[in-house]
Amino acid sequence: MEEVINNLISMIDDKSAYTAPTSKKVNGVIEIGYTNYNEKFYTCLTQLTRELESYPDYKYSKHIAKILKKPIQKLKKSHISTYITWLLRGERITDGLIASEIDSGRFKEILLRLKELY
């Protein structure tokens, strides 16, 4: 678990976790790209889900609002599992959700908290 967390944090720190979307004009139409996640980053994130005890939280949509309001230092493993569930499922619907959590700094803080708990 610690190695996976360290790899994720390293990719966040060196800004290699993802590349931001770009747009271009083709035949007068603006095409907007999508967030492209580093394959190693996504592999580590998937491995993390396998090692979390209570992943996935099938009722994450009921729990996530409270968890996002909690101070990170008060999060338990089950809260982090809910957060990761929300993050991965949310990325399917909202392209760039993981990237926005990385940019806000919250994802790294939660990874550091998870590292403390294991």
Rounded to an integer, what distance in angstroms lies between the CA atom of residue 62 and that of residue 79?
12
CA distances from 15 to 18, 57, 110 (A): 7, 29, 17
**Confidence (pTM):** 0.90
Tokens 């994130």 -> residue: 45
Which amino acid appears at position 68 of this protein?
L
- How do residues 22-36 score in pLDDT, each as one tens digit? 888 889 898 888 899
**Percentage of residues in the chain with pLDDT exceeding 70?**
100
Give every CB contact of residue 108 below 8 A, 6+ residues apart in sequence.
Answer: 9, 12, 13, 102
Question: Do 81 and 52 touch, CB atoms closer than 8 A?
Answer: yes
What is residue 24's predicted lDDT score, i.e. its pLDDT?
86
Decide if pLDDT at 113 tops 90: yes
- pLDDT tens, position by position, 48-83: 999 998 899 999 999 999 999 999 999 999 999 999
**Chain position carrying tokens 């949310």:** 90
